[in-house]
Structure 1
Amino acid sequence: MKPTVTPTSLPEVKIVEPKVFADARGFFFESFNAKEFAEALGVNAEFVQDNHSLSAKNVVRGLHYQLVRPQGKLVRVVAGEIFDVAVDIRKDSPTFGQWVGERLSSENKRQMWVPAGFAHGFAVLSEQAEVLYKTTDYWFAEHERCALWNDPQIGIDWPIDAEPLLAAKDAAAPRLADADLPD
């Protein structure tokens, strides 16, 4: 049941579409299979933590990353719809500061692979959304950092129709040019 993998404009960030088996009873799909994931993406990710968030419409979370012990993330939505974003924050990368975004929803069942070295964030497009994501390392409060969600240097085109609802840390985050970035 190998998933379909679609590359994005940032080669390391991938869209993963599982094989969905649907009938009159409902549907079934494997949201993660280590062997299939490794073969389809060419990535041997060992996940150590699962996260689950519920957010209201127009909530923007991010752009988050860890300064030390960066996390790869496999993101999916189990209720509602989000616009999921990855930003390359690797200082020596030719795509530094570039972003890619994808609509993930409970209907399309797409997932986004956000590798370590990328900041991650999302905006909620539906009345509310439940987001699940697996991480390749644990969350450490002392290592968490944010880049400003609407930094004009990055230029993310967030498809929200009102003022975003932000956590205090996200509203006060520095622009990417002033952010504390991993080495």
Structure 2
Amino acid sequence: MKVTRFDIDGPLEIEPRVFGDERGFFMESWSRRVFADIGIDCDFVQDNHSRSARGVLRGLHFQDPMVQGKLVRVASGRAWDVAVDIRRSSPTYGRWAAVELTAEKKNLFWVPAGFAHGFLSLEDGTDFLYKCTEYYAPEHEHAIRWDDPELAIDWPLEGIEPQISAKDAAAKSFRDSEGFA
């Protein structure tokens, strides 16, 4: 397993060992023991699966309270996945890390609690899977504008007109959002 760390403490890109031949492949997408060794020692309580057309942009979402960590991957297609540090006491508050997740590469992205999360589907039929450390609680959900100029996220939008939900279109700016203490 290959682990890539970012210049922000917390997020990780994980490339699992994949065993394949002409019949297909096998990989461990989660092992508590193996992932604890790289610092992801948590209980996952909910798995989610979404499918998106090319250009669908979801996020930037977070919950407070009932803060969630997420281990995410793409089972088909490709997505640009982003984690924004919203821990007000963090030296990297307001900075972001991103990775392209692909079904072909089979990589995963760890988005720890204290980060807002969003992704852009880069292909039709992108299946996005995520394990969560806390249950979804719509009454505690918040959103930050995906295109906030203060964050200046480098979304790969060439040739893509983002499709966003009404909820995300009404999201607050980063400055007006409620980051964590």
Structure 1 CA distance, aligned partners of 2:90 and 2:174?
14
**TM-score relative to the length of structure 1:** 0.96
Aligned with 1:53 (options 14, 33, 50): 50
The residue that corresponds to 2:149 in the other structure is 152
* 1:62–1:122 contact (8 Å) kept in structure 2: yes
Which consecutive aligned stretches of 4+ in structure 1 deviate over 3 angstroms post-superposition?
Answer: none
1:42 to partner: Cα distance: 1.7
**TM-score relative to the length of structure 2:** 0.97
Aligned with 1:91 (options 80, 88, 92): 88
Structure 1 CA distance, aligned partners of 2:6 and 2:160?
27
Aligned-residue identity in percent = 49
1:9 to partner: Cα distance: 2.1
| Aligned-partner SS, 1:46 | coil
User: Structure 2 unaligned runs (5+)?
Assistant: none
Structure 2 CA distance, aligned partners of 1:73 and 1:162?
26
User: Structure 1 unaligned runs (5+)?
Assistant: none
Structure 2 CA distance, aligned partners of 1:86 and 1:42?
17
| Aligned-partner SS, 2:175 | helix
Structure 2 CA distance, aligned partners of 1:96 and 1:181?
9
1:128 to partner: Cα distance: 2.6
* 1:62–1:120 contact (8 Å) kept in structure 2: yes
Count of residue pairs the alignment pairs up: 180
1:37 to partner: Cα distance: 0.6
1:10 to partner: Cα distance: 1.4
1:43 to partner: Cα distance: 2.5
The residue that corresponds to 1:29 in the other structure is 27
Q: CA RMSD in A?
A: 0.9
* 1:68–1:182 contact (8 Å) kept in structure 2: no
The residue that corresponds to 1:70 in the other structure is 67
Structure 2 CA distance, aligned partners of 1:44 and 1:119?
20
The residue that corresponds to 1:170 in the other structure is 168
| Aligned-partner SS, 2:167 | helix
1:96 to partner: Cα distance: 0.6
Structure 2 CA distance, aligned partners of 1:125 and 1:44?
30
Q: Deviations over 1:3-31 (max 9, x none)?
A: 22110121210001110001111110011
| Aligned-partner SS, 2:134 | coil
The residue that corresponds to 1:9 in the other structure is 7
